[in-house]
Amino acid sequence: MSVMAQEREQGRSEGRAEGEATGKAKTLLRLLDRRFHGVPEGYRTQVLAADAGQLDAWIDAVLDAETLENVFEPPTAH
């Protein structure tokens, strides 16, 4: 594979990862808005800047969180 083809493939991979994170961020914001009736700008900014792994953790946290703040708290050891 030529250097140009490798760079093109790397660009595609990065684009897919960025698109995946964007989709997860939109989903999380929708879940937060429906569950907690709004998302303050500070949390919205935090969500939009997060990577896919962090977004997955927050999406999972939405299911059990009693408050919006609970979603963003670090997990505790059991």
- Which residues, including other chains, have CB under 8 Å from residue 3's CB and lie 6 or more apart? none
Residue 46 lies in a domain: yes
Domain that holds residue 60: 21-78
The amino acid that residue 51 corresponds to is D
Please report the pLDDT score of residue 2 as a whole number.
Answer: 82
Residue 75, domain member (yes or no): yes
Structural domain includes residue 35: yes
The reply to whether 32 falls in a domain is: yes
| Count of domains forming the chain | 1
The answer to whether position 3 is within a domain reads no
pLDDT for position 11:
65
In a domain, 13, yes or no: no
Helices 3-36, 41-49: crossing angle, 10 deg rounding = 150
Each residue's pLDDT tens digit, 19-59: 788 999 999 999 999 999 999 999 999 999 999 999 999 99
